[in-house]
Structure 1
Amino acid sequence: MLFGQFKLSAMIGACRGLIFQALKKGLWDDCLKRTQRSGVSLEMTLNRPKAMRHRAAGLVDTEARTTLFGQAFRQLNSSENHHFRRSDNVYYVKFLGENAEDAGGPYRETFAQYASELHSAQIPMMLRTANAAHNVGVGREKWVVNPSAFASVRLRRRMFTFLGKVMGASVRSKDFLALDLAGLLWKLLVNDGVSVDDLEGVDKMLVQSMSKMRSIDQVGVTEDMFEDIVLETFTTLSTDNRVVEIKPHGASIAVTFSTRVEFADLVEHFRLHEFDTVVRYVQEGLAKVLPLNLMSLFTATEFESMVCGCPEVDVDLLAQCTEYSSCAATDMHIVWFWSTLRKFSHEERSAFLRFVWGRSRLPHSVAEFPQWFKLQSFNKSPADTYLPVAHTCFFALELPSYTSEELLMKKLLYAIYNCQEIDADGDSVAANQLGWEE
């Protein structure tokens, strides 16, 4: 059974954010315990050199045979579902040609490598968000599922169902699968309502474009002028770059002044629900491992944490990948800055990254940083009256020379949580409000 078949669960889901965490977690853990299975673990052999050669050659695993995730699918997917309902390791893994004994480390390594492959072009199951492609908005590190992954619909369904089973196993064993999926996807997975705000976290430019389409009359465009300015039909471009009709025969129906709002509504509705079929496949896999009738108790964020764990921002790694402009690491306000970051909670550190980079997680190593963090001096005075200023496109922060660490923390936290849309990416009005642009 899937989520939509539980009317009571749907009613509870409407107030999932109001239910005490201890209560729902207790119910959930009890159900997991009652449905868990034991016995001998499955055995699996993975060929890492094969996967590495595939990656080095820039090939795409279109048949799910060469990547580690594809190899795991071929060996595990036909196994009885109860194997995935263990509270410990689902399988014992042997890396071909390697001497490592699986006492837990190699097993956890497979989950890390699955996530790495899924968040790449090696296997065609996920795509970067439009925000990442355009370098705008938030969530630029996030991914969405690929609606047209694999030429075979049967393979597509089996692969995403397998992903759901692996996600379910990660929840049970707490060997987290660090998926950087957009918030929209997590909401769909727990059957929570989605809105244009969620779409903006995936494609900010589209949301802005549709908003302008609706209000085009407010900038002086009349009905007579419209057809010379807007040359659209009732089609839109999907996340996987397919031209899709958003109403019957839409390709031959021109958008007019009087139908522009309908067009905008249909575009947004399509983009909010273009992943529904693939999400159902993932839910099918989850349903084989987890008690999905209880999933309505949890918010999207809570479920993401159950699958992925709480991503820790490594401050020491960030410091290694930092360069300084018009300031030095030994300057007192810079010393206070690093001290403040170390005092932040994991959630505050993630919020800080979103503020300065539009992302919530760091790369795993120095080598994976696409650009270094830049700390710059802020030369207006008195410094204590200004907020820090982020330049998310350039992964940079202008930091005033505050007179105390306490004030620095207060100003930084305020900027992080109140100025996420007020940075140096082009909002000059906001910039003036912050006092950093003449």
Structure 2
Amino acid sequence: MSSIIKTLIGGCFYGTTADHHSNHSPELKFNDTKTTSSELQFFVRMMWKCNTIVIHASREDTVESILQQISSKTKIPIEYQRLIYNGKQLQQQQSLSQCGIENDANLQLVGQLRSIVRSVVWNSTDDIVSMILKLCRGEPVIGASINFCKHFTKYMHNSFYVIKIMKIPSLLVALFKSPHASNASIADSSIRNFVKVCLDLKCKTLQSAYLEVLLEFCELLRGVGCKCDHPLYVCCRDGFVELLILVGGVLIKNPKMKVLLRGVFDCVREITDELLRFLDLSMNFPTKRGLSYKVVFDFVKFCCPLRMGFAKEQATSLNCDICYEEDPLFLGVPDQLHIVFIKSLSKMDECLQVMEDCLVNKKRGKGELDVLHNCYLIILKELFHISKFYSGAQEQFWGLFLRRKNVLPHMIVRYVKKPDDHWWLLENRIVTDFESRKHLVMMLFPDLKDKILGYEMLIDRSQVLAESFEYISRAMPKSLQGDLFMAFKNEKATGPGVLREWFVLVCQEIFNPRNALFVACPNDHRRFFPNTASMVNALHLKYFIFSGRIIALALKKKVRVGIVFDRVFFKQLAGNYIITLEDIRDADPIMYSSCKQILEMEADYIDSDALGLTFSIEVEELGHREVIELCPGGESLVVDSKNREKYVHLLIQSRFVTSISEQISHFAQGFADIISCSSLEFFQFLHHEDFDWMLHGSENDISVEDWKAHTKYHGYKENDRQISWFWKIVGRMPAEQKKVLLFFWTSVKHLPVEGFHGLNSRLLICKSHEPDNHLPSSHTCFYKLCFPPYSSIAIMQDRLGIITQEHISCSFGTR
């Protein structure tokens, strides 16, 4: 047959005869003798490569099975193959016997043009190849760059295999290295456009397919001498990792993705070397001059998809460590990532040592140095995630912060601005401090004041609980996440100072024992937990939702209300429902003492049933007594030395968990209405003492020296006699009177743990021009106290004594 068949040679279409059988490999032996054996050996010539592959098959095998063999050897899909024998195209359903194929027969494999669309794609790609070859030969091609870009944009969604077969990446890289003028620019723009089109693909299958092509570009550019900072190489590498993230990481169990694994690790190793150089420079030259922060983000980008793949593999494996040594594709790969982890962690240790020295010596820089430290957090976060895959790695990671205890809290408070990606910092709370934990959980409160209108309230002081309940309960949660505006009826004062006063007053009412919502601990009347008898109020569960909202809002506005939660309450808000004997020490000292005695009694005494205890308790609710069994059949189960621990445990669970579970769940619901996550998450990341300090504030007496150091003057000077008298009078006041004065002045009932330094501004004393008989006045919103230049210390003391009476300081003279 002398008909002309279009075949691929070197990526271009050329004419050739179908019966041209030369150029077989020299080791192949031919036998013209026909055989009747069912086993066949024949040869398939790949026309575009001018080489031959050997096929072993049976006469009964179909052409389709032969195409599948060829596909497994050449990676060419069946739909792109045509087998020609004796000038005829073989049909897939035919057997080899039906096709008349004999031993040592010679077949030709050519490109398949099965549809008009494929024909257009092949022809267009053939034109692209021809243009590239012309350019490489130094021949001018008008509009080559535009044509390349148009082709990729139009046909890449259905031309993956054509691009692979015709070796487009190799040709473009060859064009890039061509010595002819302007070829490098044409290739550069074409490769960049290719990368862009890949990233615009929406089909996951195509995204996965083109990952291999982008990695091939990286390897080809690396092979022709492009360094890791070459702009075109960086473009291809960035495109590769972006597409990898879109695909969802390296899926270890997907055979098609396995081939990418080593390529990804090559990039990680390459970027890690850049990162280590970056960190060295950051220690020696702590400014951003000459340093590119891109390498930090590249490190995260490449490690992230690897971690995602490893995590998916780990989730389906009984072994928590990575171990793929049985697969040659993975041989040594996990160890390489582990080495990356160890090297990077060691370098970070050096960096944090330098940073710690700066802090200790008070030589910490500002501005540009801050940016570097923020990069440290990004790197540390990635190393934290990698540490989860290796035995002992997490201990190494957290050990770094135990050695550098001052550094991590400093970085958290100074550089963490968004809550989304920093919860890893709280997985080991021992390496943080109160300030850093508070900083992180406070970011859970959404700041929508610029997006929604504020919520307004007008409250009657005499009905502060009932009216506040109506306003807060009927509000949609989102409306409470912006600003709050409130005023007391028949009073002109408004602003933050009035809001702080309202929080204190409403919390005093919520936790007032006569309202039966909460019970105070007998030995610490600041400490509360839910009242089991709260159902005396038919709306008690709605009041617990309201209480949760109020406490969350107070925390958000940084108002310390002088209330603390008992441990049995806090633990359950944090999701821990196992209450121990030590947990109830403050909540019920009598029960604590009784249970302790039961556990410490002699076994013989308690076995004698001298106590007369069974696994049941008698409770009184709304005037009715009821027996509650602590376990099935508990009323008839006697407490003895063998089961007394179980009895104490069930008794505590009944008293402090089961009986108040509804109240706590409704309080948590109200709290969650104000924050951007569940209340559980908020409380889990705090120590109990942290929450006490946030809600109550400092338990220390007010320091007059600290007060004085954080006060400035307007109209007065620090050495004026009125100012000297004022501080002398304040210094002689009892602790409670100082608190009342501070509240009158600022509406701050309790100082933060940091003292006056923790307030959002300094205090101000202003001179007013009224006569001696006028009382001092205050602008609590601005922490401003005004008084006239009293003529004597006695007059000043009298006036200050009047405004520091508890019932006056809440309203009189404030603005």
TM-score range, shorter chain: 0.5 to 0.7
3-state SS of paired residue (1:202): coil
- Aligned: 1:111 with 2:503: yes
* Aligned counterpart, 1:100: 492
* Aligned counterpart, 1:46: 459
| Residues 544 and 670, structure 2, Cα contact 8 Å, conserved in 1 | yes
3-state SS of paired residue (1:275): helix
* Aligned counterpart, 1:182: 566
**Equivalent runs, 1:234-249 vs 2, <5 Å:** 234-236=615-617, 244-249=628-633
3-state SS of paired residue (1:43): strand
The verdict on how the C-alpha distance between 1:23 and 1:118 changes in structure 2, with shifts beyond 3 A counting, is closer
* Aligned counterpart, 1:300: 688
**Equivalent runs, 1:425-436 vs 2, <5 Å:** none
* Aligned counterpart, 1:166: 550
3-state SS of paired residue (2:474): coil
- Aligned: 1:73 with 2:469: yes
Matched residue type, 1:287: A
- Aligned: 1:317 with 2:731: no
3-state SS of paired residue (1:198): helix
Matched residue type, 2:652: E
| Residues 37 and 85, structure 1, Cα contact 8 Å, conserved in 2 | no
- Aligned: 1:230 with 2:621: no
3-state SS of paired residue (2:535): coil
Q: Hey, what's the Cα distance between the residues in 2 that align with 1:301 and 1:161?
A: 23
Matched residue type, 1:260: R
Q: Hey, what's the Cα distance between the residues in 2 that align with 1:237 and 1:366?
A: 46
Q: Hey, what's the Cα distance between the residues in 1 that align with 2:434 and 2:675?
A: 18
| Residues 545 and 666, structure 2, Cα contact 8 Å, conserved in 1 | yes
Q: Hey, what's the Cα distance between the residues in 2 that align with 1:81 and 1:319?
A: 36
Q: Hey, what's the Cα distance between the residues in 2 that align with 1:198 and 1:260?
A: 18
* Aligned counterpart, 2:530: 145
| Residues 144 and 182, structure 1, Cα contact 8 Å, conserved in 2 | yes
Q: Displacement, 1:282?
A: 1.1
Q: Hey, what's the Cα distance between the residues in 2 that align with 1:187 and 1:125?
A: 18
Q: Hey, what's the Cα distance between the residues in 2 that align with 1:271 and 1:318?
A: 37
The verdict on how the C-alpha distance between 1:264 and 1:83 changes in structure 2, with shifts beyond 3 A counting, is same
The verdict on how the C-alpha distance between 1:288 and 1:92 changes in structure 2, with shifts beyond 3 A counting, is same
Show CA shifts across 1:334-380 (max 9, x none): xxxxxxxxxxx9699xxxxxxxxxxxxxxxx8889xxxxxxxxxxxx
* Aligned counterpart, 2:541: 157
- Aligned: 1:288 with 2:682: no
| Residues 486 and 494, structure 2, Cα contact 8 Å, conserved in 1 | yes
Q: Hey, what's the Cα distance between the residues in 2 that align with 1:30 and 1:10?
A: 11
| Residues 84 and 289, structure 1, Cα contact 8 Å, conserved in 2 | yes
Instruction: Calculate the TM-score normalised by the size of structure 2.
Output: 0.32
* Aligned counterpart, 1:433: none
Matched residue type, 2:546: F
* Aligned counterpart, 1:82: 478
Q: Hey, what's the Cα distance between the residues in 1 that align with 2:488 and 2:621?
A: 35
Q: Hey, what's the Cα distance between the residues in 2 that align with 1:172 and 1:102?
A: 19
The verdict on how the C-alpha distance between 1:84 and 1:249 changes in structure 2, with shifts beyond 3 A counting, is farther
| Residues 46 and 72, structure 1, Cα contact 8 Å, conserved in 2 | yes
3-state SS of paired residue (1:93): strand
Show CA shifts across 1:189-244 (max 9, x none): 233564322211212221221122123225x6263xx22x2122323367989754
Structure with the greater alpha carbon radius of gyration: 2
Equivalent residue pairs, number: 289
Matched residue type, 1:167: I
3-state SS of paired residue (1:164): helix
| Residues 183 and 198, structure 1, Cα contact 8 Å, conserved in 2 | yes
| Residues 12 and 297, structure 1, Cα contact 8 Å, conserved in 2 | no
Q: Hey, what's the Cα distance between the residues in 2 that align with 1:123 and 1:45?
A: 22
| Residues 142 and 182, structure 1, Cα contact 8 Å, conserved in 2 | yes
RMSD: 3.9
Q: Hey, what's the Cα distance between the residues in 1 that align with 2:528 and 2:562?
A: 12
Matched residue type, 2:695: V
Q: Displacement, 1:10?
A: 11
Which runs of 5 or more structure 2 residues have no equivalent in the other structure? Answer: 1-420, 704-732, 739-751, 756-803, 808-815
Q: Displacement, 1:113?
A: 1.2
**Equivalent runs, 1:329-340 vs 2, <5 Å:** none
Show CA shifts across 1:132-163 (max 9, x none): 1xxxxx5354222113313466x222111111
The verdict on how the C-alpha distance between 1:207 and 1:19 changes in structure 2, with shifts beyond 3 A counting, is same
Q: Hey, what's the Cα distance between the residues in 2 that align with 1:144 and 1:239?
A: 19
Q: Hey, what's the Cα distance between the residues in 2 that align with 1:173 and 1:114?
A: 15
Q: Hey, what's the Cα distance between the residues in 2 that align with 1:183 and 1:151?
A: 24
**Equivalent runs, 1:345-384 vs 2, <5 Å:** none
Q: Hey, what's the Cα distance between the residues in 2 that align with 1:146 and 1:256?
A: 31
| Residues 41 and 92, structure 1, Cα contact 8 Å, conserved in 2 | no
3-state SS of paired residue (2:540): helix
Which runs of 5 or more structure 1 residues have no equivalent in the other structure? Answer: 1-7, 52-67, 133-137, 322-344, 349-364, 369-438
Q: Hey, what's the Cα distance between the residues in 2 that align with 1:14 and 1:163?
A: 29
Q: Displacement, 1:170?
A: 1.1
Identity %: 15
Larger CA deviation: 14-23 vs 172-181: 14-23
The verdict on how the C-alpha distance between 1:143 and 1:254 changes in structure 2, with shifts beyond 3 A counting, is same
Q: Hey, what's the Cα distance between the residues in 1 that align with 2:619 and 2:422?
A: 31
* Aligned counterpart, 2:586: 201
The verdict on how the C-alpha distance between 1:251 and 1:108 changes in structure 2, with shifts beyond 3 A counting, is same
Show CA shifts across 1:230-280 (max 9, x none): 122323367989754322353454434544333222112323424333111
Matched residue type, 1:291: S
Q: Hey, what's the Cα distance between the residues in 1 that align with 2:597 and 2:643?
A: 14
Q: Hey, what's the Cα distance between the residues in 1 that align with 2:439 and 2:754?
A: 23
Q: Hey, what's the Cα distance between the residues in 1 that align with 2:537 and 2:639?
A: 34
| Residues 246 and 267, structure 1, Cα contact 8 Å, conserved in 2 | yes
Q: Hey, what's the Cα distance between the residues in 2 that align with 1:248 and 1:116?
A: 41
The verdict on how the C-alpha distance between 1:180 and 1:239 changes in structure 2, with shifts beyond 3 A counting, is farther
Q: Hey, what's the Cα distance between the residues in 2 that align with 1:286 and 1:254?
A: 42
3-state SS of paired residue (2:515): coil
Instruction: Calculate the TM-score normalised by the size of structure 1.
Output: 0.56
The verdict on how the C-alpha distance between 1:366 and 1:237 changes in structure 2, with shifts beyond 3 A counting, is farther
3-state SS of paired residue (1:221): helix
Q: Hey, what's the Cα distance between the residues in 1 that align with 2:606 and 2:524?
A: 36
| Residues 200 and 207, structure 1, Cα contact 8 Å, conserved in 2 | yes
Query: Which gives a bigger RCO, structure 1 or 2 (Cα 8 Å, sep 6+)?
Result: 1
3-state SS of paired residue (1:77): helix
3-state SS of paired residue (1:255): coil
* Aligned counterpart, 2:98: none
